[in-house]
Amino acid sequence: GAVVSQHPSWVICKSGTSVKIECRSLDFQATTMFWYRQFPKQSLMLMATSNEGSKATYEQGVEKDKFLINHASLTLSTLTVTSAHPEDSSFYICSAGSRRAYEQYFGPGTRLTVT
Amino acid sequence: QKEVEQNSGPLSVPEGAIASLNCTYSDRGSQSFFWYRQYSGKSPELIMFIYSNGDKEDGRFTAQLNKASQYVSLLIRDSQPSDSATYLCAVNPGANNLFFGTGTRLTVIP
C-alpha cells in the first residue's frame, strides 16, 4: 500500500515555457500532499503543502505565482512551474500523507531540465 | 527554528558490520521521527518510524529514540552493499509536515 506516482518522470523544456507535474496517490486518499525540491547533493526542501479543496501553503521564499499548486481531489495534486528558467532545473518530488498525515510516502520524482 | 542535524558522512563500513547513523533535533516538542533511504537519483523511501523512547526493531534495522537527549539513531545490522545510500532523518514537530536533515551518505564496502 501507500503508492504514490508522479508524471512525468523527467521533462526538458525551454526557458519561458510552463511545465505541469502530476502527483497521484494510487491506493489511498491523501488529504495532504507535499511538494519538495532537491538540488544535487542537497537535502529535500519543502516548497508547499496542499490540502484537498483549499489553497496551498507555501514555504518562505517560494513564489506562489511561479509554482502553482492545485489539489483538486483526494488522489491528485499538480504542480505547474510557470515561465520556467534554467535555475528552476531540479528534482521535484511530491509526497502524500496517509491517514496519519505525518507519515509521508514519496512519489518517484520528476527531473526538470530547463534549457 | 526547527533544525534536524545529521553528519553528512560519508560513512564507510565493511560488509557484514553494523552501520550507525545519528540525528539530533532542536524542537523538544517533536512527536514522531522517521528514517528514509534515498538512492542516488531516486526519491526517498520510508524505512522506519518511531514515536516512543527506546528501541524499535524491523529486520536488520533498529531505530533508537531518546527524547530527553533529542537524539534518534538508526542501526543497520549485517550491512550489505545494497544498503549504500543516503539516509535522511525526518522529524514531525506536531503539525502535518516533516523537517528533514541533510542526510548521511553510507557506503558499504564488499
A66-83 average pLDDT score: 92
Q: Which among A43, A93, A111 has the least Cβ separation from residue B103?
A: A43
User: What pLDDT does residue A1 have?
Assistant: 59
User: What pLDDT does residue A28 have?
Assistant: 82
Per-residue pLDDT band at A100 (split at 50, 70, 90) = low
> Per-10-residue mean pLDDT for chain B, 110 residues long?
82 97 93 92 91 95 96 97 96 80 95
Q: What is the pLDDT of residues A48-63, one digit of tens each?
A: 998 887 889 999 999 9
Contacts of B49 in chain A (CB under 8 A): 103
Q: Which CA distances in Å does A23 have to A14, A45, A92? A: 22, 17, 10
Residue A27, chain B, CB below 8 Å: the answer is no
Q: What is the DSSP string of A40-52?
A: TTS--EEEEEEET
Q: Look at residue A73 and tell me whether its pLDDT is greater than 70.
A: yes
Burial of A67-81, coded b for 16+ CB within 10 Å and e otherwise, reads bbbebeebbebbbeb
CB atoms within 10 A of CB B13: 17
